C-alpha cells in the first residue's frame, strides 16, 4: 500500500491541532493509503507540542518533530525531509493546521495524483475555488499581488494559485529537490518549491477549494515574510535567466576585447581596414571560448568543438548583418535622431537573435525526460525505476 504523510506545521495552534487531528483521521480512513500525520512544531509556547504528544497515545500514525522557530519554510523543509527519509512517504501533503484547508478536500486532492499529476494544488483561484468573502481589500490585494508576482516575476505562468499551502506531492518529485539550496525561511517556501518542481518537469494540477478563515488562534504572516517573498521571486527570475545573463556578460567583455585588439593592431601599423575585421574575429573567438567554457558549460556537448566554433562564427556574422540592416532602416526612418541611438537600438534585436540561435543551435540541448512514479523508491533514479518496470 502506498504511504502518505501529511505534514502539519504548527506555531501556537494548540486548540486548532487538538480539533484537527481527529477530523483528519476520519478522512484518512477513506483514502487508499497507509496514512501518517507529521506535526512539525517549533516549540510553541502555548503547549502545542504537549497537546500533540498526548494525542499520540490515541493514534499510532501521529508523529511529532520539534525545533526552533525559523519560519514556515524552514519547518516544511524539516518536515518533508523527515517524511521522506524516516517515514518513507510515497506522497507528501502540505496543509495548514488552522482549518483554513478543509480536511474533506483531502481525498479529492489525492485522487488527482492519478490524473496523472505529480504536484496537486488545492487552488483558490481556479473556477469553483474561493477566498473568504469577509477578507478586507488589503488581504485580497496581498494574496492577489503575491500570486501575480509569483506568476509573472518568478515565471510560474501556468499556475493560478502559486502561494497555496494545500498540496499533495509525489515523493519522487521531492527527492529530486535539494532542499539545502532553497534559500527560504518563510512563506516564500511555497513558490520556491513549486518553481523547483515545475523546473524538473512535474505535472501540476489545480483543484478548486474554498479557503476559510481561521476561527481560533492568530495569523503568523508578517512583513518579513512579504519581503522575503518578493526577494525570492526576483531571485528566481534572475536564476532562470542566468544563462542569458552570462551570455550578455560575455558579449560585453567581447566589446572590450574587440577594441583592445583593434588598438593593438593599429599600434603595430596594420591597416585599419584589415585591423577592423581581424579584431571582430578575435572577439568572436573570445566570446565563443567563454560561452563554451562558462555560459553553456552545463550542457552536454555532442559535437566537436570545431563544429561549434564554426556555428558560433556563422551566427555572429548573421548578427552583424541584422545589426547593420536594423541600423540602416532606423537611420532612414528617423533621420533626426543621433546615429548612436540607431546603433544602440540595433544591438537589442541582434543580442536576442544571437542568443536564440546559439542556445538552440550551436549549444543545443534537451533536458533529460523525467518520470515521477507514484510508488516512490528511495535512492532510485527515474531511469532505474523505468528499467525495473520493463524487466518485471
Ligand X SMILES: Nc1nc2c(ncn2[C@@H]2O[C@H](COP(=O)(O)OP(=O)(O)OP(=O)(O)O)[C@@H](O)[C@H]2O)c(=O)[nH]1
What residue ranges bind Mg ion (CB under 5 A)?
96, 98, 100, 214
Cα–Cα distance, 53 to 25 (Å, whole number): 16
Query: Contact at 8 Å (CB) between 7 and 81?
Result: no
Residue 379: which residues within 8 A CB-CB, separation 6 or more? none
- Under the binding rule (CB under 6 A), the answer on residue 13 touching ligand X is yes
CB closer to Mg ion out of 98 and 376: 98
- Residues 53-92 as x/- pattern, contact with ligand X by CB under 6 A: ----------------x-xx--x-----------------
State the sign of the Cα–Cα–Cα–Cα dihedral 355, 360, 365, 371: positive
CB closer to Mg ion out of 96 and 118: 96
Coil/strand/helix, residue 133: coil
Minimum distance from CB of 86 to Mg ion (Å)? 27
- Under the binding rule (CB under 6 A), the answer on residue 10 touching ligand X is yes
CB closer to ligand X out of 100 and 232: 100
From residue 259, give the alpha-carbon distance in Å to each of 255, 274, 279, 283.
6, 14, 7, 9
Residue nearest to ligand X (CB): 219
No. of helices (H) and no. of strands (E), the chain: 13, 7
Residue from 24, 91, 94, 100 in contact with ligand X (CB under 6 A):
100
- Under the binding rule (CB under 6 A), the answer on residue 376 touching ligand X is no
Residue from 20, 97, 171, 288 in contact with ligand X (CB under 6 A):
97
The site partner of 49 among ligand X, Mg ion, none (C-beta below 5 to 8 Å per kind) is: none
Segment near ligand X (CB under 6 A); pick from 95-103, 280-288, 351-359, 374-382: 95-103
The site partner of 85 among ligand X, Mg ion, none (C-beta below 5 to 8 Å per kind) is: none
Minimum distance from CB of 4 to Mg ion (Å)? 22
CB closer to Mg ion out of 212 and 285: 212
From residue 4, give the alpha-carbon distance in Å to each of 141, 269, 297, 374.
34, 76, 39, 11
The site partner of 386 among Mg ion, ligand X, none (C-beta below 5 to 8 Å per kind) is: none
- Under the binding rule (CB under 6 A), the answer on residue 228 touching ligand X is no
The site partner of 75 among ligand X, Mg ion, none (C-beta below 5 to 8 Å per kind) is: ligand X
For 282, what's the count of Cα atoms within 13 Å in the CB-facing half-sphere?
Answer: 18
Strands (E), 59-109: 62-66, 91-94
The site partner of 13 among ligand X, Mg ion, none (C-beta below 5 to 8 Å per kind) is: ligand X
Cα–Cα distance, 322 to 187 (Å, whole number): 46
Minimum distance from CB of 228 to ligand X (Å)? 12
Count of residues near ligand X by CB under 6 A = 19
From residue 241, give the alpha-carbon distance in Å to each of 102, 235, 269, 357.
38, 10, 42, 16
CB closer to ligand X out of 72 and 154: 72
- Nine-digit cell string for 104: 474533506
What 3 state SS string does 353-382 have?
A: HHHHHHHHHHCCCCCCCCCCCCCCCCCCCH
Nearest-10 crossing angle of helices 48-56, 14-28: 30
CB closer to ligand X out of 166 and 288: 166
- Under the binding rule (CB under 6 A), the answer on residue 143 touching ligand X is no
- Under the binding rule (CB under 6 A), the answer on residue 214 touching ligand X is yes
- Under the binding rule (CB under 6 A), the answer on residue 130 touching ligand X is no
Cα–Cα distance, 256 to 283 (Å, whole number): 8
Element (H, E) at 248: helix 242-267
The site partner of 97 among Mg ion, ligand X, none (C-beta below 5 to 8 Å per kind) is: ligand X
The bridge status of strand 91-94 relative to strand 167-170 is antiparallel
- Under the binding rule (CB under 6 A), the answer on residue 96 touching ligand X is yes
Judged by the rule CB under 6 A, the positions of this chain that interact with ligand X are: 9-11, 13, 40-42, 69, 71-72, 75, 96-98, 100, 214, 219-221
Amino acid at each position: 500500500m502506498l504511504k502518505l504523510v501529511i505534514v502539519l506545521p504548527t506555531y501556537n495552534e494548540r486548540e486548532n491541532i487538538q480539533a484537527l487531528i481527529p477530523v483528519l483521521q476520519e478522512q484518512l480512513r477513506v483514502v487508499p493509503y497507509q496514512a501518517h500525520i507529521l506535526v512539525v512544531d517549533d516549540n510553541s509556547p502555548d503547549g502545542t507540542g504537549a497537546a500533540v504528544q498526548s494525542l499520540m497515545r490515541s493514534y499510532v500514525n501521529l508523529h511529532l518533530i520539534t525545533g526552533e522557530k525559523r519560519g514556515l519554510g524552514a519547518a516544511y523543509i524539516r518536515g518533508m525531509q523527515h517524511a521522506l527519509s524516516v517515514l518513507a512517504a510515497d506522497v507528501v501533503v502540505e496543509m495548514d493546521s488552522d482549518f483554513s484547508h478543509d480536511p474533506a478536500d483531502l481525498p479529492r486532492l489525492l485522487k488527482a495524483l492519478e490524473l496523472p499529476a505529480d504536484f496537486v494544488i488545492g487552488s483558490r483561484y481556479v473556477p469553483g475555488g474561493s477566498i473568504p468573502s469577509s477578507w478586507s481589500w488589503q488581504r485580497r490585494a496581498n494574496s492577489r499581488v503575491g500570486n501575480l508576482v509569483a506568476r509573472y516575476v518568478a515565471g510560474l505562468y501556468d499556475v493560478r494559485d502559486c502561494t497555496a499551502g494545500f498540496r499533495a506531492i509525489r515523493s519522487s518529485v521531492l527527492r529530486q529537490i535539494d532542499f539545502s539550496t532553497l534559500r527560504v525561511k518563510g512563506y516564500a517556501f511555497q513558490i520556491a518549491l513549486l518553481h523547483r518542481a515545475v523546473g524538473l518537469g512535474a505535472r501540476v494540477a489545480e483543484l478548486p477549494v474554498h479557503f476559510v478563515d481561521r476561527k481560533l488562534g492568530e495569523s503568523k504572516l508578517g512583513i518579513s515574510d512579504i519581503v522575503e517573498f518578493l526577494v525570492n521571486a526576483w531571485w528566481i527570475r534572475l536564476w532562470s535567466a542566468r544563462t542569458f545573463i552570462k551570455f550578455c556578460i560575455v558579449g560585453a567583455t567581447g566589446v572590450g576585447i574587440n577594441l583592445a585588439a583593434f588598438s593593438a593592431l593599429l599600434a603595430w601599423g596594420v591597416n585599419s581596414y584589415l585591423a577592423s575585421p581581424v579584431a571582430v574575429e578575435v572577439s568572436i573567438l573570445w566570446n565563443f571560448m567563454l560561452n563554451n567554457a562558462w555560459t553553456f558549460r552545463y550542457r552536454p556537448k555532442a559535437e566537436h568543438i570545431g563544429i561549434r566554433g564554426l556555428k558560433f562564427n556563422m551566427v555572429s556574422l548573421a548578427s552583424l548583418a541584422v545589426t547593420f540592416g536594423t541600423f540602416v532602416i532606423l537611420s532612414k526612418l528617423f533621420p533626426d535622431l543621433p546615429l548612436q541611438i540607431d546603433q544602440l537600438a540595433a544591438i537589442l534585436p541582434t543580442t536576442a537573435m544571437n542568443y536564440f540561435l546559439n542556445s538552440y543551435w550551436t549549444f543545443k540541448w534537451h533536458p533529460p525526460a523525467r518520470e515521477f512514479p507514484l510508488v516512490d523508491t528511495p535512492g532510485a533514479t527515474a531511469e532505474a525505476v523505468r528499467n525495473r518496470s520493463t524487466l518485471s
